[in-house]
A = this chain, B = another copy of it.
Amino acid sequence: MSVVLPFNPIAEMAPEPSLEGIVTLVQADMGRVNALILSRTGSEVTMIPEVAQHLISSGGKRLRPMLTLATGALSGYEGDGTVKLAASVEFMHTATLLHDDVVDDSEMRRGKLAARMLWGNEASVLVGDFLLGQAFRMMIEVGNMRALDILSTAAVVIAEGEVAQLAAAKNIATDEEAYLAVIRGKTAELFAAACEVGPVLAGRSEAEQAACRAYGMNLGIAFQLVDDALDYGGSQADLGKNVGDDFREGKITLPIVLAVRRADEAERGFWRRCLEQSEIGEGDLERALALLTRHGAIGETVERARTYGAAAKKALDGFSAGPAKHALLDVVDFCISRVR
């Protein structure tokens, strides 16, 4: 009996996108970043390393610090600074996650119980503050005023984005522009800052700094769009959190914006009841998924992500080919490939 092997020409031609390129590129420095992260979560107040390391060791990809190291490599930087800034970026991100979980009443994070479920909201708020303070201390140690300005501005813009998201929540009149402003702030700004400080430390031209920033900004938007699509399409195991979390929290993400725009009166009433009045019953998530599918809202969200991903890649046009550029381009494909 002959065995017919399945043949998939696309899979043959393009290997599964992965983070392998960037992981290999920054491996040595990431070891130092991880050691720094470990030492700077230390405190005589034992609850601090417990809470911080619960989240930090929970298997995040550490994409943002890798981006700082990789854009540093792309810019020919050879000093110690990007290691400290990469750890700062990861601390800023971790602080945001701890505070987000309190803001969103989340029970799960990266497939584990959220820190607030184990140590309480109080500890999540305060350990987040500790990590933010440590992030600033590390960046101050690097002593580059422009990098300090970029990262401290990012801290402000992230908080603004989060508050804007809060203000837009439970309001189905939120439009695409308002949604984009939220995700630029809450997600893309830190990607942008993480990528901009590499060429800044390397003393590259303003045009090159702006190019790396644009890469990070567009990548960050694409990343969040994919996340928002996954919230209605991924499986719990893939995502490390529950499908439909955004729906239950009344978060107005792009899939919702698009579906509401195309809704008839009955559908609009459904979205209003579920998202504005938070009256969600049996079968409502399924109905929401069916409506999102019928209006092509998930597919279109992914399509936008591809567009921003292409813009991220294009931003690096001016840099010459090499392992760093190759790795950064692969990151874009990987982020978008998380959703099918």
Contact = CB atoms under 8 A, between A and B. Distances in A.
Contacts of A159: 126-127, 129-130, 133
A167 B136 contact: no
A137 B140 CA distance: 12
Contacts of A160: 43-45, 48, 130
Contacts of A156: 130, 133-134, 137
Interface in A30-89: 43-48
A129 B48 contact: no
A148 interface: yes
A137 B153 contact: yes
Contacts of A125: 99, 102-103, 125
A24 B220 CA distance: 50
A162 interface: yes
Given A126-B159, A143-B145, A145-B140, A164 B45 contact: yes
A155 interface: yes
Interface in A254-283: none
B129 A102 contact: no
A149 interface: yes
Q: What bracket does the count of chain A residues touching chain B fall in?
A: 35 or more
A118 interface: no
A39 to B, nearest CB: 13
A141 B132 CA distance: 19
Report the copy number of this chain in the oligomer: 2
A263 to B, nearest CB: 27
Contacts of A43: 160, 163
Contacts of A153: 133, 137
Interface string A93-123: 0010001001100000000000000000111
Nearest to A151: B136
Contacts of A134: 156
Contacts of A95: 129
A239 interface: no
A163 B47 contact: yes
Interface string A206-249: 00000000000000000000000000000000000000000000
> Ordered nearest first, which 7 A-B pairs have the shortest CB separation?
A133-B155, A133-B156, A130-B159, A129-B159, A103-B122, A136-B152, A45-B164
Interface of A: 43-48, 95, 99, 102-103, 121-123, 125-127, 129-130, 132-134, 136-137, 140, 143, 145, 148-149, 152-153, 155-156, 158-160, 162-164, 166-167
Given A48-B163, A129-B155, A133-B155, 9 more contacts: A45-B163, A48-B160, A102-B102, A102-B125, A103-B121, A125-B125, A129-B162, A133-B159, A136-B136
30 contacts: A44-B160, A45-B163, A45-B164, A95-B129, A99-B129, A102-B121, A103-B121, A103-B122, A122-B166, A123-B163, A123-B166, A126-B159, A126-B162, A126-B163, A127-B159, A129-B155, A130-B156, A132-B155, A133-B152, A133-B155, A133-B156, A133-B159, A134-B156, A136-B152, A137-B152, A137-B156, A140-B145, A140-B148, A140-B149, A140-B152
